[in-house]
A = this chain, B = another copy of it.
Amino acid sequence: MVVGIIGAAGYAGSELVRLLARHPRVRSLSLGSVSLAGHIEDVYPNFLGMVSRPLHKPEEVVAASDVVFAALPHGVGEAYAKACLEKGISFIDLSADFRFDDDEETYKAWYGTGFIVPALRKCSVYGLPELNRDRIKTLAAAGSVIIGNPGCYPTAASLAVFPALATGIAAPERTIIVDAASGITGGGRDPQKSFHFPECADSMSPYKVGAHRHTPEISRNVKNMAGLFGRDAPEVIFTPHLAPMNRGILSTSYIPLKKDFHAVSYAAPCSAPRPPSKEVETSMLEIREMYAAFYKDEPFVRVLPAGIQPATGRVRQSNVCDIAVNIDQSGTTLIVVSAIDNMVKGAAGQAVQNMNIVMGFDETEGLDTIPALF
């Protein structure tokens, strides 16, 4: 199988190259760039002697490939998606263009322009396997398909919240708060002041507070998962931060519990918080079991044993999402922490996972990397 990657010279693109060059089902790679020529190993000398491939024009990549990935800015890739469908091959898109199905209004509100070829959404599906695996399979079974590969924050946040929605323990009338931090690779390959080493090393800061484009994507996932179980969905507030590290997203989600699931923490109302009581601990363990049950067949989600918290360093370079279930000291709010590698499960790895599903391969092929501790 020849796999095409358009936008191979960006960070997400180069991560696709790294993963797909070792994928057991991939015979060769056809790499493309909208703006650069030369070879991929000129741009990324880490590939020297391991991956040596010229950068073609996107059209040539489409022509040469059996499936095409695109890691391009928003609004650039639709033409190639169309060309792929016409050729009868699938297109896996890492931009936001196909993440909103036919909700062009929301897409336009956050990304500024409307869809270029709206009809493509008839063949597209949001590629979060833990939410949409069946839809992806159904669509792929019917022919070629466009995958809207999820954003990095939405992946980490949605996986943390899904079981609480599915099991109905989340209070739908209360807002879910997602507070997350990303490594600097999330900002891409283009040198900018915000990602200049002295400006961000040894420092932490938030950005786009109350106004990040991943908010509607998370909200949409929340509504879709709640909808699958016939439930109302809570609103979502999301705040991203920049942390002084290369890879990883750590996401902390605050999910108010329905009254029925409150741990009875104190005998009487109390003026000051107390450490978690035995009831709170029990409640946490029960909900942890719900989470473990929800994800028991998922190959890439690990619900951690009680007492172990996720660390981005512990999922580095793997497609794993680590999840810890916690409760606040009063037993009324779930605090679910999730960690992913933003470049793998948050981008290129999840895209390969989607390819595996679309092509009918085992979902873990080419993605069985054991995360290194450092």
Contacts and interface: CB of A to CB of B under 8 A. Distances in A.
Interface of A: 11, 14-15, 18, 21-22, 44-51, 103, 105-106, 109-110, 175, 177, 179, 181, 183-185, 187, 189, 191-193, 195-207, 209-211, 215-216, 219-220, 223, 235-237, 239, 241, 243-248, 250, 252, 254, 256, 271-276, 280, 284, 302, 304-305, 308-317, 320, 324, 326-330, 332-333, 335, 337, 339, 343, 368-374
B339 A219 contact: no
Nearest to A201: B246
B198 A198 contact: no
Contacts of A254: 177, 179, 237, 254
Nearest to A215: B273
Contact of A203 (B44, B50, B207, B311): B311
B371 A204 contact: no
Among A110, A198, A206: residue with most chain B CB under 10 A:
A198
Contacts of A339: 204-205
B372 A326 contact: no
A309 B207 contact: yes
A217 to B, nearest CB: 9
Contact of A191 (B191, B203, B219): B191
